[in-house]
Each structure stands twice: as structure tokens, then as C-alpha cells.
Amino acid sequence: MTDPFFSITNLFEANTNGYINYRIPGICVTPNGVALAHTEARKGRGGDWDMIDILMRRSFDQGSTWEAPRKIIDHADFGDGPIHNCNTIVDSVTGEVHVLFCFGYARAFHMKSDDDGKTFSKPVDITSTFEQFRPEYDWGVLAIGLPNGIQLTSGRLIIPVWLSISKTKAHRPNRCAVIYSDDHGQSWQRGAMVPDVVPNLNETSIVELSDGRVLLNMRNGVGVKRRVITTCPTGIDNWETPWLDPALLEPTCQGTVFRLSTASEGHNRILFCNPDNADGKDKKGPDIFLTRKNLTVKLSDDDCRTWPVSKVIEPGFSGYSGLAVCPDKTILCAFERGGPDGVDSDDYLAVARFNLAWLTDGSDPV
């Protein structure tokens, strides 16, 4: 086994370059091994409804160094409102990187890159896909899941979404579902909605299991301090009744699940990352928020049934995250990071770079 390594690089810093903060990280690695890290660059007060652009940085050396930031989506091209919930799906068949994002919690778009994120196609409006949900759920707010979608072994592209019947900015109540493409992003269709037995699930992460089933790992906003899980055979229909994962603490924050390796590579390994904490004071509002700190990555070798390996990335304030894996199995984690003063604030958008040896303390237990 190789020697352990771990480092953190701050990619974006609050109150710089005309933006109040940088939130909602996303990261992926193209089939050519280029890492793409993106963020919501927020103006105004830095809230969800302020003016937001999407900025990206690229790395050609497994996250060691990064190109200068550049704007890939400008809110001014769409009107008076935020660009938000930007997600990527890597298509290993075509070599393309698909980008799905939303505008004003009312419209959704798709664009793609065939040159490792150097350029992107013109965005195409795919809001009509969400209109397919209306007979079942007459939504007033739409959003794509966070932080990424996946390509199944069948070639299908699939990404979680959530919808709310609210006609205001409250985003409650809401439901989770998926949309998918079987033609490499040329068209998109709705999948089934997750059974509404746990209210207000959203910001869902997704992974394909070793037997071909698809698992959703969902943010839980009702005060039960555990993540919510469901699976289905195809990823698009017949979701099981959701259940709580007792091993995954939930401070009411986005989290991310991502495959590290498959059984064909020698080990069936899946990663999970979120602020591993269930302490602190509740905040006011419809959700039960706890302190976002102690960002932790966990490892499972049994399709997310247990998580025997756990390692802290950032013990202080830390929030949303995204995971990606380089061809040499270097793991990249983009995350919201607080400053050294320990105050709860999104001071940085950072990327942690580490390997399996660091995660397992130099051993190979799973």
C-alpha cells in the first residue's frame, strides 16, 4: 500500500472578487483525469435567493494545483434571480461532462463539455422534464439534488431532484425524485418519486450498488438526527419505503455518497461525507438545524450497510461537500470550510486531497 497523504487547498475565499461568499461545492473528474471544482459565487447577502454565478477551477495533477477561477454560468444571462444547484454527471461512454443547473427555483437547464471543462455548450432548457411531475405533484419550486449525478453500468445518466408545492420562497413541504437520460443527455425523463413517509427530504446523493440497485442518501429536515436511505432496482421506479441509517449522523445538511472502487477492481468500496455531528442548538424555522462541524469521510465495503472506517477532514465549522476519485484513486473532497477563528461562517470553499492509506491509517481493513 502507498504512503498516506492528506492536504487541504482553499480554492475560493469569502469577500473576494466581488462576491460575499462561495457556497455549494461540486467536483468531478473527467474520463481524461481532469478535476473540475465548481461553486456558487454569491453576491448581495450571500443567500440562496441573491444573485449567484457559477465559477469553476480545473486541475490537471489530481488536485495538487488548480487553474485560476473562471465564470462558466452568468446569472445575468438568465434574468433577475439566482443560478443554483449546479451538478455534474461524468459520461464515461462519450467522454463528456454534463452540467445540470437551476435558475430561480423555477427552471432547469442542461449543458455539456467535451473538452474537460474548457468550454461548455449553450444551456438547453429542460424544465419540461419537471412538468412531467405535475399530475402527481403540483410543484411551485424545483431543484436538482447536489452534488452530482451518476452514470449507471447500463449507460443511463441519472440525477436526484427535489420539488416543493410551496408557492413562496419557503421550499416546504417537499418531495424527492430523480430524472434520467438514456441517450447521453439528449433528452430527459422523470423517474418515480420517493414515498412520502419522512417529510421534507431533499438535497439527495446517489450511488449504484454492486448488485445494480440504486441507493439514495437524503438530507433529513424533521429533527431525527440520522440520514434517510432508500433503494430501487433501476434507479427510476419502485423506491423502497425510506429508512434511517443509524451510523450516519444528520445535522440537517447536504451530504455526499460516492463510489471509490468496484468488486472488479478488487474491492467494493463506497465513500460518504458530511458534517458528522448531532449536537448544538436548534435554529429557528421549519427545519431542525444543528451545528455544522466535524466534516468526516466514511468508508463502506458492504453496499452502505455498515461504515467501519471513519476519518475527520475538518473538525471545525464545515458544511456542504462533494466527492470525486481520480484515475490513480486519489480522493478529492470539495467542501465549505470555516476560518481559523472557529466562527460558524462559510469563509472558504476548499478541496481536501487524500488517499485510502490516509483514510485507513495505513492499513487495509476493508
pLDDT for 168 equals: 83
Give whole-number Cα distances, 296 to 15, 36, 222, 250, 255, in Å.
26, 22, 22, 12, 10
pLDDT for 214 equals: 98
Given a contact cutoff of 8 angstroms between Cβ atoms, the answer to whether 100 and 108 are in contact is yes
**CA distance linking residue 194 with residue 220, whole number of Å:** 13
Q: Which domains does the chain have, with CATH numbers?
A: 6-359 (2.120.10.10)
Cell (9 digits) for 290: 444543528
Taking residue 326's Cβ as centre, other Cβ atoms within 10 Å add up to: 18
Given a contact cutoff of 8 angstroms between Cβ atoms, the answer to whether 314 and 335 are in contact is yes
What proportion of the chain, given as a percentage, has pLDDT over 70? 96
What proportion of the chain, given as a percentage, has pLDDT over 90? 86
pLDDT for 172 equals: 85
Given a contact cutoff of 8 angstroms between Cβ atoms, the answer to whether 272 and 250 are in contact is no
Instruction: Compare 221 and 353 and report the one with higher pLDDT.
Output: 353
pLDDT for 227 equals: 97
pLDDT for 1 equals: 62
Overall average pLDDT of the 64-78 stretch: 97
Q: Which of 110-114, 250-254, 298-302 has the lowest mean pLDDT?
A: 250-254
pLDDT for 171 equals: 84
Q: How many residues does the chain have?
A: 366
Overall average pLDDT of the 285-310 stretch: 91
Residue type, position 143, single letter? A
Burial class (CB in 10 A: 0-12, 13-18, 19+), 81: middle
pLDDT for 167 equals: 84
pLDDT for 364 equals: 63
Overall average pLDDT of the 84-89 stretch: 98
Q: Give the pairing of strands 141-144 and 157-164.
A: antiparallel
What backbone torsions phi and psi does residue 179 show, to the nearest 5 degrees? -125, 160
Please determine, for residue 365, whether its predicted confidence score (pLDDT) is greater than 60: no
What backbone torsions phi and psi does residue 265 show, to the nearest 5 degrees? -90, 0
Please determine, for residue 22, whether its predicted confidence score (pLDDT) is greater than 80: yes
pLDDT for 284 equals: 60
- Of 244-253, 278-287, 341-350, which one has max mean pLDDT? 244-253
290 DSSP β-pair partners: none
Please determine, for residue 139, whether its predicted confidence score (pLDDT) is greater than 70: yes
**CA distance linking residue 89 with residue 207, whole number of Å:** 12
**CA distance linking residue 213 with residue 39, whole number of Å:** 30
Residue type, position 64, single letter? S
Question: Nearest 5°: CA angle at 135, between 171 and 140?
Answer: 20
Please determine, for residue 282, whether its predicted confidence score (pLDDT) is greater than 90: no
Listed in sequence order, the residues at least 6 apart from 318 whose beta carbon sits closer than 8 Å to its beta carbon are 275, 292, 293, 294, 295, 335, 336, 337, 338
- Kindly report the average pLDDT of the chain as a whole number: 94
Q: Which of 17-21, 261-265, 281-285 has the lowest mean pLDDT?
A: 281-285
Please determine, for residue 21, whether its predicted confidence score (pLDDT) is greater than 80: yes
Please determine, for residue 346, whether its predicted confidence score (pLDDT) is greater than 90: no
**CA distance linking residue 25 with residue 346, whole number of Å:** 11
User: What is the per-residue pLDDT across 227-262, written as a single tens digit (0 to 9) for each?
Assistant: 999 999 999 999 999 999 999 999 999 999 999 999
Given a contact cutoff of 8 angstroms between Cβ atoms, the answer to whether 227 and 220 are in contact is yes
Please determine, for residue 113, whether its predicted confidence score (pLDDT) is greater than 80: yes
Nearest Cα to Cα of residue 87 among 26, 143, 37, 31: 26
Per-residue pLDDT band at 366 (split at 50, 70, 90): low
Please determine, for residue 68, whether its predicted confidence score (pLDDT) is greater than 90: yes
Overall average pLDDT of the 148-161 stretch: 98
Instruction: Map the chain to HEC letters.
Output: CCCCCEEEEEEEECCECCECEEEEEEEEECCCCCEEEEEEEECCCCCCCCCEEEEEEEECCCCCCCCCCEEEECHHHCCCCCEEEEEEEECCCCCCEEEEEEECCCEEEEEEECCCCCCCCCCEECHHHHHCCCCCCCCCEEEECCCECEECCCCCEEEEEEEECCCCCCCCCEEEEEEEECCCCCCCEECCCCCCCCCCEEEEEEEECCCCCEEEEEEECCCCCEEEEEEECCCCCCCCCCEEEEEEECCCCCCEEEEEECHHHCCCEEEEEEECCCCCCCCCCCCCCCCCEEEEEEEECCCCCCCCEEEEEEEEEEEEEEEEECCCCCEEEEEEECCCCCCCCCCEEEEEEECHHHHCCCCCCC
pLDDT for 103 equals: 98
